[in-house]
Amino acid sequence: MEAEQIDAGAIRVGTPKRSAVGMPAIASSMEHALEEMGVRRSLKVLTRVNHDGGFDCPSCAWPDPDPEHRRLAEFCENGAKAVAWEATRKRVDAGFFARHSVAELRSRDDHWLEANGRLTDPVYLAPGATHFEPIAWDDALRLVADRLRGLPDPDRAVFYTSGRASNEAAFVYQLLARRLGTNNLPDCSNMCHESSGAALSATIGIGKGTVTLADLEDHADLIFVVGQNPGTNHPRMLTALEKAKRRGARIVAVNPLPEAAFTRFRNPQVARGLIGAGTVLTDAIVPVRVNGDLALFAALNRALLEREDRQPGTVLDGAFIATHCDGFEAAAAAWRQLDWPALERLSGIPRAAVEELADTVAGAERIVVCWAMGLTQHRNAVATIQEVVNFLLLRGNIGRPGAGPAPVRGHSNVQGDRTMGIWEKAPDAFLDGLRDEFGFEPPRHHGYDTVRAIEAMRAGRVDVFVALGGNFAAAAPDTAVTEAALATCALTVNIATKLNRTHLCHGREALVLPCLGRTERDVRPGGEQLVTVEDSMSMVHASRGRLAPVSAGLRSEVAIVTGIAAARFGEDLGWGSMGDDYRVIRKHIERVVPGFHAFEERLDQPGGFVLPRPPRDARTFPTATGKARFTVNPPTAVEVPDGHLLLQTLRAHDQFNTTVYGLDDRYRGIKGGRRIVLVDPADLARLGFADGDLVDLVSVFDDGERRVRAFRAVAYPTAPGCAAAYFPEANVLVPLGSTAEVSNTPTSKSVVIRLERP
Ligand SMILES: Nc1nc2c(c(=O)[nH]1)N[C@H]1C(S)=C(S)[C@@H](COP(=O)(O)OP(=O)(O)OC[C@H]3O[C@@H](n4cnc5c(=O)[nH]c(N)nc54)[C@H](O)[C@@H]3O)O[C@H]1N2
Ligand SMILES: Nc1nc2c(c(=O)[nH]1)N[C@H]1C(S)=C(S)[C@@H](COP(=O)(O)OP(=O)(O)OC[C@H]3O[C@@H](n4cnc5c(=O)[nH]c(N)nc54)[C@H](O)[C@@H]3O)O[C@H]1N2
Ligand SMILES: [Mo]
């Protein structure tokens, strides 16, 4: 309690910034880089980010420009922070673990844990022990293999993946799980874009977006940025939006918060951005209520339909709908039934504003809708995204230049990991491919996703938990429940670059296995290795680490995973040769995963190659009916009882998910602490509080209440009835049982709370 109050007391709140990036961003990234890496290492590493022959930025999944259009510094402030954080010279070695007991480490926060530096050697926590101790690699791998061998049922093992794993690591990891006999492959996607995948698969037949960077930069004339804060989370997207803007495209942000990037972007890559006023990026910000997007897009669709009814043949793309779509009549009938006052109440947007937006839409030839977590982490997220697809289909905005859906991914290879089969419900075609390639019968019953994995642990049905990266305990919902769930396991194994909370929420025994990061040289018996990744726009390319590894004790993720597999299964599937030379893995991928023909050869093409996306390539929709599908999505929104607010949990500017680089959120004007809650001034007054008050946040769900203490209330412009607090501090409030329909994604952006005096 005391520590919490000190934090809240140290917070300083200034005015939110009215522009993004510019000089302060460069200063901030260099400061981090020099502090963590020193001058020589900084220069060496930062000039190799996102360049041919260099490595893929480990931060977000925004695509890279064509090689000839890349600049010397093809990264952003937050990418530089991510690189510096990984390439730091600080070390967490055996001495560190001898000095700090697990109990003491648990009392520290994630910021402190990671700030100690890179893990250097494998460590083991014996049953009942107080400290992690060094263990030889072979012993560690054998221990995991022994525990896996001892399982009465392969489904008592769970293999979690975070989205930084390379394609090669992901492929051998899912192969290990399936060889063992389980599809328990939860991943960060389950908490992230799962809703996008579900909605897009059902409607256009592929679980990915269909646009390219050029569609945004060169062709679209209207771009929606919905539920996304690119200034912080995808800063290089601002460069693309700026290009679009300067050639006359319109940009509409849909967001309950007036994020800084929307008002003005000062491009650090060109002189006018450093010293000039920058570019005003958005033509409009639609201040939708949190969770109001389904109603908003339904209203927009209805308004378009009404325009078509008034002037038939002028607003909708009748030919596209007739040739390529089904379900239009049912959807149209449902839109005609909608009631404007209800739509206004659910979305928080007045009809007049929707009509104006509909006029803009009707005047646009080519529309792209970009979105991220503001749409995916709600109970009705899948329906909402399906309604966005309806919106695009109405005017044929898919499968032609400058148009289409663009779910903007988070982790740098989260999309690739899914392509590689990190999926608890991988389709039969993929499993057939594994069977034919490797000659074993993979399990067919679905495995646990993230939420189900936690539920299974709670119920005592999981013995071995393995994590390939990530910070499961802090990233998952319902922190207290998730931490307790992890502790029920017999063995927890974390393959990681840095120490974090999950490693300390251990089972009866535990291993932390330190791995190479993406910036580091990876030399195996078969020579120096490269790995591959896939970005948000389905481009696959190579990534080669350039720095000397921080410790000789590190192994690559591929080496660790194939090492465990070889210790468990011998050489049945050729694990050793896969681990020695990743070209062997790529040959397997080539034969198992569609779109990877001539994989190795095509990596030499500048910028890599693009995976097939039938809706884009040929307006072919591999759905059940072979057509793009209109869907009926009755507008709903979370009902918030009187005296309560709808809380979204989001990212500050100084973090990458659970990795907290610093305590400032520069663009929102908040400094020195993260235990804050943003509430509109009018709501704050109505509820009897004032800016600067310390408040407890109490979340209300059908299974009871959850509480975080002593957050500082910040009066901040947001949609009425809404609030915002930072992930992961607020994860305590997200009930495990509150998930999206169909995708089962935790509703991290729809938490009903009330404020209380501590
Ligand atoms: N620097 C940095 N980069 C990152 C990350 C990071 O933590 N730091 N994380 C990476 C990952 S894994 C991901 S998934 C992405 C996340 O990228 P974002 O989705 O941009 O991340 P969030 O901070 O969760 O921001 C959500 C945005 O949605 C808005 N929002 C919230 N609720 C609603 C709603 O109901 N409707 C609408 N229309 N808007 C809403 C919020 O106001 C906020 O602007 O970023 C990736 N890139
Ligand atoms: N309340 C709330 N919860 C959320 C969200 C939210 O918006 N609100 N967002 C969700 C989203 S979108 C996501 S993607 C998840 C993220 O969930 P995760 O992916 O599980 O979490 P991260 O914080 O990205 O993981 C950070 C850790 O990864 C390890 N790491 C870093 N680089 C590497 C590497 O190269 N290899 C290996 N093996 N390990 C590495 C480090 O040890 C570091 O501590 O969180 C979700 N949780
Ligand atoms: Mo994410």
Encoded tokens for 184: 């328990």
User: What residue's CA is closest to ligand 1, atom 22?
Assistant: 650
Indicate whether residue 58 lines ligand 1 (CB < 6 A): no
What percentage of the chain has pLDDT greater than the value 90? 84
Encoded tokens for 160: 């979690």
Paired sense of beta strands 404-407 and 464-468, if any: unpaired
**Domain boundary residue among 63, 86, 109?**
86
Ligand number, closest to the Cα atom of 651? 1
Whose CA is closest to 604, among 686, 667, 512, 541? 541
Indicate whether residue 651 lines ligand 1 (CB < 6 A): yes
- How high does pLDDT run on average in the chain? 93
Does residue 8 form part of some domain? Answer: no
Q: Find out whether 194 and 451 touch, Cβ atoms under 8 Å.
A: no
Question: 3-class SS at 145?
Answer: helix
Q: Is 39 a residue whose pLDDT tops 80?
A: no
Question: 3-class SS at 301?
Answer: helix
The alpha carbon of 658 and the centre of ligand 1 are apart by a number of angstroms equal to 13
Confidence of residue 2 (pLDDT cuts 50, 70, 90): very low
The alpha carbon of 384 and the centre of ligand 1 are apart by a number of angstroms equal to 16
Helical spans, DSSP H, in 367-439: 373-376, 381-394, 414-419, 428-438
Mean pLDDT of 299-308: 98
User: What residue's CA is closest to ligand 1, atom 24?
Assistant: 650
Indicate whether residue 121 lines ligand 1 (CB < 6 A): no
Q: What is the CATH number of the domain that holds 703?
A: 2.40.40.20
Distances in Å between the Cα of 600 and the Cα atoms of 199, 303, 593 are: 32, 49, 14
Indicate whether residue 665 lines ligand 1 (CB < 6 A): no
Does residue 110 form part of some domain? Answer: yes
Indicate whether residue 254 lines ligand 1 (CB < 6 A): yes
Asked whether residue 259 falls in the same domain as residue 303, the answer is yes
Confidence of residue 83 (pLDDT cuts 50, 70, 90): confident
Other C-beta atoms closer than 10 Å to the C-beta of 181 total 16
Distance of alpha carbon 74 from alpha carbon 623, whole angstroms: 37
The residue with tokens 């067919």 is: 444
Confidence of residue 22 (pLDDT cuts 50, 70, 90): low
Q: Find out whether 137 and 563 touch, Cβ atoms under 8 Å.
A: yes
Q: What is the CATH number of the domain that holds 326?
A: 3.40.228.10
Indicate whether residue 475 lines ligand 2 (CB < 6 A): yes
**pLDDT score for 44:** 73
**pLDDT score for 267:** 67
Indicate whether residue 514 lines ligand 1 (CB < 6 A): no
Question: 3-class SS at 284?
Answer: strand
Burial group, residue 524, by CB count within 10 angstroms (0-12, 13-18, 19+): middle
Mean pLDDT of 333-349: 98
Question: 3-class SS at 502?
Answer: helix
Q: Is 1 a residue whose pLDDT tops 50?
A: no
Confidence of residue 25 (pLDDT cuts 50, 70, 90): low
User: What residue's CA is closest to ligand 1, atom 1?
Assistant: 233
Asked whether residue 159 falls in the same domain as residue 233, the answer is no
pLDDT tens digit sequence for 556-578 = 999 999 999 999 999 999 999 99
The alpha carbon of 414 and the centre of ligand 3 are apart by a number of angstroms equal to 8
Q: Which of 59, 188, 478, 481 to mutate to test ligand 2, by most ligand atoms within 8 A of the CB atom?
A: 188
Residue predicted with more confidence, 653 or 36: 653
pLDDT tens digit sequence for 108-153 = 999 999 999 999 999 999 999 999 999 999 999 999 999 999 999 9
Does residue 613 form part of some domain? Answer: no
User: What residue's CA is closest to ligand 1, atom 17?
Assistant: 233
pLDDT tens digit sequence for 707-720 = 999 999 999 999 99
- Which residues on adjacent β-strands are paired with residue 523? 528
Distance of alpha carbon 644 from alpha carbon 573, whole angstroms: 56
Asked whether residue 662 falls in the same domain as residue 602, the answer is no
The residue with tokens 């709903």 is: 636
**pLDDT score for 277:** 57
Does residue 9 form part of some domain? Answer: no
Distances in Å between the Cα of 629 and the Cα atoms of 205, 386, 399, 622 are: 9, 9, 14, 11
Phi (first) and psi of residue 528, to 5 degrees: -75, 130
Indicate whether residue 655 lines ligand 1 (CB < 6 A): yes
Q: Is 8 a residue whose pLDDT tops 80?
A: no
Distance of alpha carbon 230 from alpha carbon 364, whole angstroms: 23
Distance of alpha carbon 593 from alpha carbon 590, whole angstroms: 6
Question: 3-class SS at 577?
Answer: helix
Does residue 5 form part of some domain? Answer: no
User: What residue's CA is closest to ligand 1, atom 10?
Assistant: 410
The alpha carbon of 532 and the centre of ligand 2 are apart by a number of angstroms equal to 19
Distance of alpha carbon 250 from alpha carbon 368, whole angstroms: 11
Indicate whether residue 374 lines ligand 2 (CB < 6 A): no
Ligand number, closest to the Cα atom of 385? 1
DSSP 342: H
User: What residue's CA is closest to ligand 1, atom 16?
Assistant: 410
User: What residue's CA is closest to ligand 2, atom 28?
Assistant: 470
User: What residue's CA is closest to ligand 1, atom 42?
Assistant: 257
Distance of alpha carbon 376 from alpha carbon 407, whole angstroms: 10
**pLDDT score for 71:** 63
Encoded tokens for 537: 């726009």
**pLDDT score for 276:** 55
pLDDT tens digit sequence for 355-366 = 999 999 999 999
Residue predicted with more confidence, 3 or 445: 445
Q: Reply yes or no: is the peptide bond before residue 728 cis, omega within 30 of 0.
A: yes
Asked whether residue 142 falls in the same domain as residue 170, the answer is yes
Structurally, how many domains does the chain consist of? Answer: 4
pLDDT tens digit sequence for 548-558 = 999 999 999 99
Exposure on the CB side of residue 88, measured as CA atoms within 13 A: 21
Q: Find out whether 630 and 330 touch, Cβ atoms under 8 Å.
A: yes
The alpha carbon of 240 and the centre of ligand 3 are apart by a number of angstroms equal to 21
Indicate whether residue 195 lines ligand 1 (CB < 6 A): no
Q: Is 642 a residue whose pLDDT tops 50?
A: yes
User: What residue's CA is closest to ligand 1, atom 44?
Assistant: 229
Indicate whether residue 25 lines ligand 1 (CB < 6 A): no
Fill in the amino acid letter for 740: A
The alpha carbon of 242 and the centre of ligand 1 are apart by a number of angstroms equal to 20
Q: Which of 21, 28, 29, 60 to mutate to test ligand 1, by most ligand atoms within 8 A of the CB atom?
A: 60
Asked whether residue 582 falls in the same domain as residue 465, the answer is yes
- Which residues on adjacent β-strands are paired with residue 586? none
Distance of alpha carbon 55 from alpha carbon 64, whole angstroms: 12
**Domain boundary residue among 408, 429, 458?**
408
Burial group, residue 128, by CB count within 10 angstroms (0-12, 13-18, 19+): exposed
Q: Find out whether 125 and 509 touch, Cβ atoms under 8 Å.
A: yes
Mean pLDDT of 213-239: 95
Asked whether residue 691 falls in the same domain as residue 650, the answer is yes
Whose CA is closest to 20, among 207, 213, 258, 188? 258
The alpha carbon of 374 and the centre of ligand 1 are apart by a number of angstroms equal to 6
Does residue 617 form part of some domain? Answer: no
DSSP per residue, 428-489 = HHHHHHHHHHHSS----S----HHHHHHHHHTT--SEEEEESS-HHHHSSSHHHHHHHHTT-
Asked whether residue 116 falls in the same domain as residue 169, the answer is yes
Indicate whether residue 231 lines ligand 1 (CB < 6 A): no
Asked whether residue 253 falls in the same domain as residue 402, the answer is yes
pTM of the model: 0.96
**pLDDT score for 29:** 67
Burial group, residue 95, by CB count within 10 angstroms (0-12, 13-18, 19+): exposed
Asked whether residue 446 falls in the same domain as residue 519, the answer is yes
The alpha carbon of 485 and the centre of ligand 2 are apart by a number of angstroms equal to 18
> By residue range, what is the domain housing residue 426?
91-192+413-606
**pLDDT score for 5:** 42
Ligand number, closest to the Cα atom of 724? 1
Distance of alpha carbon 174 from alpha carbon 443, whole angstroms: 12
Q: What is the CATH number of the domain that holds 139?
A: 3.40.50.740
Distance of alpha carbon 457 from alpha carbon 465, whole angstroms: 9
Please tell me the chain's helix, strand, coil percentages from 3-state DSSP, rounded to the nearest 5: 40, 20, 40
**pLDDT score for 280:** 76
Ligand number, closest to the Cα atom of 79? 1
Distance of alpha carbon 751 from alpha carbon 641, whole angstroms: 12
Asked whether residue 270 falls in the same domain as residue 393, the answer is yes
**Domain boundary residue among 590, 606, 622?**
606
Asked whether residue 105 falls in the same domain as residue 148, the answer is yes
Does residue 614 form part of some domain? Answer: no
The alpha carbon of 649 and the centre of ligand 1 are apart by a number of angstroms equal to 9
Indicate whether residue 114 lines ligand 2 (CB < 6 A): yes
Encoded tokens for 521: 């040289």
Residue 326 φ/ψ region, left for φ over 0, alpha for ψ in the -120 to 50 degree band, beta for the rest: beta
Mean pLDDT of 652-657: 95
Confidence of residue 255 (pLDDT cuts 50, 70, 90): very high
**pLDDT score for 6:** 44
Indicate whether residue 545 lines ligand 2 (CB < 6 A): no
Q: How far does CA 506 lie from the centroid of its chain?
A: 25
**pLDDT score for 3:** 41
**pLDDT score for 141:** 98
The alpha carbon of 188 and the centre of ligand 2 are apart by a number of angstroms equal to 7
User: What residue's CA is closest to ligand 2, atom 46?
Assistant: 475
Does residue 201 form part of some domain? Answer: no
Encoded tokens for 484: 């307790």
- Which residues on adjacent β-strands are paired with residue 659? 656
Distance of alpha carbon 378 from alpha carbon 381, whole angstroms: 5
- Which residues on adjacent β-strands are paired with residue 656? 659
Encoded tokens for 544: 């080669």
Confidence of residue 473 (pLDDT cuts 50, 70, 90): very high
The alpha carbon of 226 and the centre of ligand 2 are apart by a number of angstroms equal to 22
User: What residue's CA is closest to ligand 2, atom 4?
Assistant: 475
Q: Find out whether 675 and 711 touch, Cβ atoms under 8 Å.
A: yes
**pLDDT score for 98:** 98
Mean pLDDT of 70-83: 74
Contacts of 316 (CB under 8 A, 6+ apart): 304, 305, 308, 394, 395
Indicate whether residue 59 lines ligand 2 (CB < 6 A): no
Indicate whether residue 493 lines ligand 2 (CB < 6 A): no
Atom of ligand 1 nearest to the CA of 657: 7
Asked whether residue 438 falls in the same domain as residue 404, the answer is no
Q: Is 224 a residue whose pLDDT tops 90?
A: yes
Mean pLDDT of 279-284: 82
Q: Is 7 a residue whose pLDDT tops 80?
A: no
User: What residue's CA is closest to ligand 1, atom 32?
Assistant: 374
- Which residues on adjacent β-strands are paired with residue 468? 161, 495
714, containing H or E segment: strand 704-715
